[in-house]
Amino acid sequence: MDQIIAHLRQSIADEVFSKEERKTLRTLLTDRALREDQLTSLRTKIFELASEKVNDSNFRFIIEWVKNVNSALVASTADKSDAFFSPGDACRDTIIKQINGAITRIKICVFTISDDRISHAIMTSHRKGLDIKVITDNDKSFDMGSDVGRLAQAGIAVKMDSTPNHMHHKFMVVDDRALITGSYNWTQSAARYNHENILLTKEGRLVDSYLKEFDQLWKEMQWYN
Residues with a known catalytic role: 168, 170, 175
Alpha helix (H) residue ranges in the chain: 2-13, 19-32, 36-53, 59-77, 90-100, 116-127, 148-153, 188-192, 204-220
CB atoms within 10 A of CB 46: 18
Closest CA to 194 of 206, 203, 182: 182
Helices 59-77 + 2-13 axis angle, to 10: 150
Closest CA to 121 of 159, 172, 79, 167: 172
Close Cβ partners of 65 (under 8 Å, ≥ 6 residues apart): 11, 12, 17, 50
140 secondary structure, DSSP code:
G
